[in-house]
Structure 1
Amino acid sequence: MKTHPIHPRNIKKVWTVNGRKVSDIHVAAPILEPGHWEDFDPFLVMMEDQFEKGAFDVHPHRGIETVSFIIDGSINHYDSATGDGGTLRKGDLQFMTAGRGVLHNETPADGESVHMLQLWVNLPREHKMTEPRYQNMRAEDVPVRHENGALIRVYSGSSGDIVSNTLNYVPVTFVEMTIDSGASVTQDLPGSYNGFIYILEGSGQFGENKVEAKKGQALWLDSVAAEELSGIQVTANENLRLVLFAGEPLNEPVVARGPFVMNTEAEITQAYSDYRNGVFHKSN
């Protein structure tokens, strides 16, 4: 079997994520700030939220996919357009393709607090108005890659020989790594992918340039030649838990307003008109 060399990636940037109190029942921390469309492509924004019932109301989306990862607690989800619903628990993941439009809500049970990450992934122009779709992945069903001192849950894309069956309109790799103190592991990625890491627990060294980072910090991966197979090395200074997201850039114009992300101002205006006229309540 022919193998290709893996070109190591550096870490380009490290930043500390700070939460702010939105209300007595909601603390929000932007990991990827909105507005950096070209830099983060295909990603738009990622938030870390800790909240209770009532923090969010029913709200619409169009033109994106959301990736919701439950760090702790459980959340009930309902979509009034498709009738889809259910409960997501610790370690579960939901890929929601908003496409032409969904109207949904995510809410914890009474008296329960939920800790979760939500990433918005841009949809390509040709799939902006696709049919909505939900993919719920239970923690116990996620394929796992085992290395010496490391466990990698592959929610989307691949890690080594382990491949997820998650469907994506934009190729996206999402893995959760749990690494024992002193252990090292390398995550392979296409050279064309943009990507980042967010540390949930512990500390470590990251990339070929051995950047030090710890819990509550995010790291943006440096680029390599698009045609290369790349790898990002992680070494745990202490027991380490992190999430890594990487994806293929779209290189398309982005016009975002509120919960809608399209390619033109006219499409945003149409999205708001459709929402006001109740189109998001209907399924084709």
Structure 2
Amino acid sequence: MKDTERKNMIKREIQNKWSVIPQRDTSIHKQYLVLPAEKWEEFDPFLVMAEDNMKKGAFDHHPHRGIETVSYMIDGVLRHKDNQGNEGELRKGDVQWMTAGKGILHIEEALEDGFAHLLQLWVNLPAEHKMVEPRYQEIFHADAPVRKENGAEIKVISGSSGGVTSQTKNYAPVTMVEVVLQESHSIVQDFHADFNGFIYVIDGAGIFGANKVAGKKNDVLWLTPSVENPSEVKLHATEPLLCVVIAGKPLREPVAAKGPFVMNTEEQIKQAFKDFREGKFGEWPQN
């Protein structure tokens, strides 16, 4: 980072804090909303984020269009498969970054007699990229670039952190890092100008932002905006801390959403359902 950028760096505060919202509780699927749906303008470019703890059978194969889904594994094993020929398994710390684009069919499920505990974030695609070809990226825990400081490890899933950069490709620019911080240690995470962002505490507790807001397991801490200048947020662990810090450049485009489809107009949503019914998303593999 240039000296002029460091000089003008905005110290982010925590604007809002909430705990996850229970959404579903069955014998095979417990779900909590981290970012509730339909707050499109506030969360832009993010649409929704859920924490899922599930067993096999929670989901069948289903379609998507107009978004990217980002699945971060907290624990367990997640088996994934789509109709573009991609399949595999994710384990603790692994991430799947799937661009649905013009349309994809996929399934994510736990193994037989196993479980999958994960975060899934939906990132909106810019209007000009809504109908791109589907793309699939795996960011394995062992392969992701890591920034190390005293008492801290910051895994860079997307974007950058302190000069360490991920190779993950984005249509909407997104910074996503996993922070493992020992008790009584601190780090600073930097952002480009005009990035909306938040922190989600997976485990432990800490003090966050320039206004020193306390946060604990299952808390969401939404950052104040910083439109014109680069910015940074400070994280300090009061207990051993595991969290994700996620920020992205707002698209500032209209949002029309229904079910698994997110477009810019209601007509585009109707077309998505029509295309799906007519088999234009392709066939689901039979074996």
Question: Residue 56 of structure 1 contacts residue 105 of structure 1 at CA under 8 Å; is this kept in 2?
Answer: yes
- Look up the equivalent residue of 2:261 and give its one-letter code: F
Residue pairs, 1:45-84, within 5 angstroms: 45-80=48-83, 82-84=84-86
CA-to-aligned-CA distance 1:86-129 (integer Å, 9 cap, x gap): 11111100100000000110111101011000000000000000
SS at match of 1:139: coil
**Deviation of the 1:205 alpha carbon:** 0.5
CA–CA separation in structure 1 for the residues paired with 2:95 and 2:251: 23
CA–CA separation in structure 2 for the residues paired with 1:260 and 1:21: 21
- Look up the equivalent residue of 1:77 and give its one-letter code: H
CA–CA separation in structure 1 for the residues paired with 2:21 and 2:129: 34
**What corresponds to 1:190 in structure 2?**
192
**What corresponds to 2:125 in structure 1?**
123
Question: Residue 190 of structure 1 contacts residue 227 of structure 1 at CA under 8 Å; is this kept in 2?
Answer: no
- Look up the equivalent residue of 2:242 and give its one-letter code: R
CA–CA separation in structure 2 for the residues paired with 1:281 and 1:100: 11
SS at match of 2:142: helix
**What corresponds to 2:225 in structure 1?**
223
- Look up the equivalent residue of 1:163 and give its one-letter code: T
- Look up the equivalent residue of 2:114 and give its one-letter code: E
**Deviation of the 1:20 alpha carbon:** 4.0
- Look up the equivalent residue of 2:222 and give its one-letter code: W
Question: Residue 196 of structure 1 contacts residue 220 of structure 1 at CA under 8 Å; is this kept in 2?
Answer: yes
**What corresponds to 1:159 in structure 2?**
161
CA–CA separation in structure 1 for the residues paired with 2:45 and 2:114: 33
Question: Residue 63 of structure 1 contacts residue 128 of structure 1 at CA under 8 Å; is this kept in 2?
Answer: yes
SS at match of 2:187: strand
Listed as ranges, the gaps of 5+ residues in structure 2 are: none
CA–CA separation in structure 2 for the residues paired with 1:201 and 1:40: 23
**Deviation of the 1:18 alpha carbon:** 3.4
Question: Residue 46 of structure 1 contacts residue 119 of structure 1 at CA under 8 Å; is this kept in 2?
Answer: yes
Aligned residues, how many? 281
The partner residue of 2:27 within 24, 30, 36 is 24
Listed as ranges, the gaps of 5+ residues in structure 1 are: none
Q: Note closer, same or farther for the CA distance 1:282–1:25 as it changes in structure 2 (3 Å cut).
A: closer
CA–CA separation in structure 1 for the residues paired with 2:281 and 2:230: 41
**What corresponds to 1:278 in structure 2?**
279
- Look up the equivalent residue of 1:277 and give its one-letter code: E
**Deviation of the 1:75 alpha carbon:** 1.0
**What corresponds to 2:99 in structure 1?**
97
**What corresponds to 2:171 in structure 1?**
169
**Deviation of the 1:149 alpha carbon:** 1.0
Question: Residue 191 of structure 1 contacts residue 223 of structure 1 at CA under 8 Å; is this kept in 2?
Answer: no
SS at match of 1:279: coil
CA–CA separation in structure 1 for the residues paired with 2:278 and 2:2: 56
What percent identity do the matched residue pairs reach?
Answer: 52
2:209 is aligned with 1:207: yes
CA–CA separation in structure 2 for the residues paired with 1:37 and 1:151: 32
- Look up the equivalent residue of 1:68 and give its one-letter code: S
Question: Residue 25 of structure 1 contacts residue 52 of structure 1 at CA under 8 Å; is this kept in 2?
Answer: yes
CA–CA separation in structure 2 for the residues paired with 1:94 and 1:219: 23
**Deviation of the 1:21 alpha carbon:** 3.6
CA-to-aligned-CA distance 1:159-205 (integer Å, 9 cap, x gap): 00100010000000000001111111000001300011100111111
**What corresponds to 1:256 in structure 2?**
257
CA RMSD of aligned residues (A): 1.2
CA–CA separation in structure 1 for the residues paired with 2:142 and 2:32: 28
